[in-house]
């Protein structure tokens, strides 16, 4: 029985790229269910892709993960396949896979995909998602190939890491970063509820949120419906991190906040 393939990319849905990759997967492993994690990662957004994959991985079925966010396509960056307790990961060596692989316990073996016999000969070198990664994922999912068939083993410690910033607790405030803006305009940060409790904040409290030179007052609530339209909500999101939402509208627009920007949380008195 072929195993499931979970597929993430920055290909978008306007062009044929996703359909072509899924066509290759079907031709090689027709028994595999392909799960589309997302294909709307910002173009070349390796960190955004890594974060999305790490948010999703615990809810995916064991099998093969195919992740392609690859601004270095056609260069000397390596193409990899990694074995973990969860299953197999296939993607570029640019940090994209690192957080999710770490979340499932790390890799027991990693191989570079170099064997031309497991690739599709392409007219150019700009679509490794089709020509390199999809064939490898399909062969692994179908059982027609093992990691060793793809190319030589490499040391996991030699792979490009994904360096993610950690929040800093500096009482009476917590300093962090906006990590992700979802389709609704809600903004996830890298700050967890435990960091807020370390500076004396609790659910139900008023919270001051500083973004650059601007300061905003909101409430730590449980659900979007706990605030009125236009009111700032600070809540624990589905990934267990503190996020910002604004009742009835987009928080990113209201707060002029994008992924990568600094965010400071504190009590009303501590941030004045």
**What CATH number matches the domain at 5-158, 3.40.50.300, 3.90.25.10, 3.40.50.10790, 3.40.50.150?**
3.40.50.10790
User: Which of 92, 112, 104, 81 shows the shortest CA–CA distance to 46?
Assistant: 92
Q: Are 215 and 271 in contact (CB under 8 A)?
A: yes
Determine the average pLDDT of the residues in 155-170: 92
The predicted structure's pLDDT at residue 144: 96
Q: What is the pLDDT of residues 250-272, one digit of tens each?
A: 999 999 999 999 999 998 654 44
Say how many CA atoms lie within 13 Å of 68 toward its Cβ: 27
Residues 6 or more apart whose Cβ sits within 8 Å of residue 179: 51, 188, 189, 190, 241, 259
Query: Topology of 168-266 in CATH?
Result: Elongation Factor Tu (Ef-tu); domain 3 (2.40.30)
Rounded CA-CA distance 109/88 in Å is 10
Among 171, 168, 187, which Cα is nearest to 233's? 187
Domain coordinates of the chain in residue numbers? 5-158, 168-266
Asked if residue 98 has pLDDT above 60, the reply is: yes
**pLDDT, tens digit, 9 for 90 and up, residues 215-236:** 999 999 999 999 999 999 999 9
pLDDT at 269: 55
User: Residue 2 — very low, low, confident or very high, per pLDDT cuts 50/70/90?
Assistant: confident
Question: Pairing mode, if any, of strands 5-9 and 34-38?
Answer: parallel
pLDDT above 70 as % of the chain: 98
Q: What is the pLDDT of residue 150?
A: 98
Residue 119's closest CA among 172, 79, 152, 63?
79
């Amino acid at each position: 029985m072929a195993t499931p393939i979970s597929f993430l990319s920055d290909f978008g849905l306007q062009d044929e790229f996703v359909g072509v990759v899924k066509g290759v997967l079907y031709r090689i492993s027709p028994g595999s269910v392909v799960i589309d994690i997302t294909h709307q990662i910002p173009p070349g957004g390796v960190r955004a892709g890594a974060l999305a994959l790490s948010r999703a991985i615990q809810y995916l079925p064991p099998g093969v993960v195919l992740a392609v966010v690859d601004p270095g396509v056609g260069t000397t960056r390596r193409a990899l396949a990694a074995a973990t307790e969860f299953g197999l990961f296939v993607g570029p060596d640019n940090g994209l896979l690192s957080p999710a692989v770490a979340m499932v316990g790390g890799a027991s073996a990693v191989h570079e995909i170099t064997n031309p016999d497991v690739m599709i000969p392409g007219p150019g070198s700009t679509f490794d998602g089709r020509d390199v990664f999809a064939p490898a994922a399909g062969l692994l999912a179908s059982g027609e190939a093992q990691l060793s068939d793809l190319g030589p083993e490499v040391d996991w410690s030699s792979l490009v890491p994904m360096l993610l910033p950690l929040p800093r607790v500096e009482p009476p405030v917590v300093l962090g970063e906006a990590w992700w803006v979802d389709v609704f305009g809600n903004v996830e940060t890298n700050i967890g509820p435990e960091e807020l409790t370390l500076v004396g904040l609790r659910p139900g409290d008023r919270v001051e949120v500083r973004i650059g030179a601007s300061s905003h007052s909101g409430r730590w609530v449980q659900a979007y419906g706990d605030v009125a339209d236009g009111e700032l909500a600070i809540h624990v999101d589905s990934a267990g991190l503190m996020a910002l939402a604004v009742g009835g509208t987009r928080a990113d627009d209201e707060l002029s906040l994008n992924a990568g920007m600094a965010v400071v949380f504190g009590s009303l008195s501590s941030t004045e």
